[in-house]
Chains A and B, each alone.
Chain A
């Protein structure tokens, strides 16, 4: 459940209860989405999912949908590279 883990990380960084988050998470629906908090969110995602995120992709990770799509691709790629 990547989506739920992303929302939990988001809630922690943005200091909200997960149940209080809107359905869609982006700078238009969430107050206090500053560039600093955005980076904190990305760093927290790295810790949660055990991956390294290229800083160049960060500007594109501006919604929960974009983050989930990105993580799905990254984790698939990482999984494909593991020995069977």
Chain B
């Protein structure tokens, strides 16, 4: 294969900063992920692909490899193939993006402290709130028992889980505010690329604007800012996506007709990369809330799961499964 696409992508790569870098991938897997041979991989290292270790035995950060492959344009990298596959649902007809759907939801937060869970553990999970978007939550259970409030589930234990059946539904509304439409157009014209970033950088709007690399949190924060500057009341939301193992963020605005509407900037970026995606995802005159969004009460950049023990906040490991019920 031609290495030209990988070279061009490398020139645009925002490398994971050294303080966040983890050498989690060896050469053999790196070659598989990038869809390239050993000589091309060595060439990429010579041209600046970050790596640690002696020549021939380097290790890489899997996020650098994912981001590099995603924009290679070769169709050979694993990230391109996985991305196109995972976003096939964006080809659906508009009615299918809005129709009510049901999914089995489970989320669990666990203490991820390197030295084990300490005294007085406290686990916190954001509660899924599908009713906010005309959906429903049934068969709801927590393990252990819940001591939280309307927005969060809390337990004095090393781990905490939620299971439920979710009903979600979408909505497509005309975007009436000229300011909001202009904000969406400015966002779409900004030449941003979605990339995998360390958690600490995902909500960094300055980084996004400086380097053109967006996450759902930074994109949502910026689009919200553009809306507010245009005089449109706006906020951000954090939640999950049915069928995708990802935490997601988007924007809600109050339109001039008084109706709260969803703007989803990252889905707009994804749609530009998903062959055959329904154009409604990038239509600046419409507000699309797909039937895959599962909102919480949190704003973009806030963690859906937290854990503390031993008198301090420690890393929390969040595992989520949202199994869509597929009609036969």
* Chain A residues within CB distance 8 Å of chain B: 15, 35-36, 39-40, 42-43, 54-57, 59-60
**In the complex, what residue of chain B is closest to A36 when comparing beta carbons?**
B82
* Chain B residues within CB distance 8 Å of chain A: 28, 78, 81-82, 85-86, 88-89, 243, 245, 321-324, 326
CB distance from A37 to the nearest CB of B (A): 9
CB distance from A9 to the nearest CB of B (A): 15
> Contact at A55–B321, with CB atoms within 8 Å?
no
Q: State the main secondary structure of chain A at its contact with B.
A: helix
> Contact at B326–A43, with CB atoms within 8 Å?
no
B86 is contacted by which of A15, A55, A57 (Cβ under 8 Å)?
A55
B85 is contacted by which of A15, A55, A57, A60 (Cβ under 8 Å)?
A55
> Contact at B82–A55, with CB atoms within 8 Å?
no
> Contact at B85–A43, with CB atoms within 8 Å?
yes
**In the complex, what residue of chain A is closest to B292 when comparing beta carbons?**
A56
Q: Once bound together, how far apart are the Cα atoms of A57 and B86, in whole Å?
A: 11
Q: Please provide the 5 A-B residue pairs with the shortest distance between their CB atoms, ordered closest to farther.
A: A56-B324, A39-B82, A59-B323, A56-B243, A56-B326
Q: Which residues of A contact B326 (CB under 8 A)?
A: 54, 56-57
Q: Which residues of B contact A39 (CB under 8 A)?
A: 82, 85-86
> Contact at B85–A42, with CB atoms within 8 Å?
yes
B245 is contacted by which of A15, A35, A60 (Cβ under 8 Å)?
A35
> Contact at A56–B89, with CB atoms within 8 Å?
yes
CB distance from B159 to the nearest CB of A (A): 18
Q: Which residues of B contact A43 (CB under 8 A)?
A: 81-82, 85
B82 is contacted by which of A15, A40, A57 (Cβ under 8 Å)?
A40
Q: Once bound together, how far apart are the Cα atoms of A38 and B296, in whole Å?
A: 28
**In the complex, what residue of chain A is closest to B323 when comparing beta carbons?**
A59
Q: Once bound together, how far apart are the Cα atoms of A83 and B220, in whole Å?
A: 50
Knowing that A39-B82, A40-B82, A56-B326 are A-B contacts, what are 11 other residue pairs whose CB atoms are under 8 Å apart, sorted by A's residue number? Answer: A15-B28, A35-B245, A36-B78, A39-B85, A54-B326, A56-B243, A56-B324, A57-B326, A59-B243, A59-B322, A59-B323
